[in-house]
Amino acid sequence: MKKSLQIRDKISDDKTINDLADLFKVFADATRTKIMICLEVKDMYVGELAEILGMSISAVSHQLRVLRSAKLVRGTKEGKEVKYSLDDNHVAMIIECGLSHINE
């Protein structure tokens, strides 16, 4: 019984588990993952991302809104444009751990 309690203690509350599942759903989209990999290399404007990915600016903007709402990227206003970057080092770590796992 003691092991069962230890395992149950390791499982977070339902809200936390659902939030974690939602985070991984954002990573489930290949376009969003490509955007985050680009931003891992350097901060970029929407137009730069669109050119690199061969997508329209509006399509990239839509994906950036999803990533921003998940707190995976952030935008910094520079004049009339917004430069995007990964929100913090944790995002890069998630990407690198995922790549390491699939390349084993």
Query: What is the per-residue pLDDT across 36-50, written as a single tens digit (0 to 9) for each?
Result: 999 999 999 999 999
Burial environment of residue 34 by CB neighbours within 10 A (0 to 12, 13 to 18, 19 or more): middle
Q: Where are the beta strands (DSSP E) in 30-90?
A: 44-45, 73-78, 81-86
Q: What's at 14, amino acid-wise?
A: D
Residues 6+ apart with CB under 8 A from 74: 68, 84, 85, 86, 87
List beta partners, residue 75.
84
How far apart CA 32 and CA 23 sit, in angstroms, is 12
CATH of domain 30-102: 1.10.10.10
Residue 9 has pLDDT above 70, yes or no: yes
Per-residue pLDDT tens digits for 53-97: 999 999 999 999 999 999 999 999 999 999 999 999 999 999 999
pTM of the model: 0.86
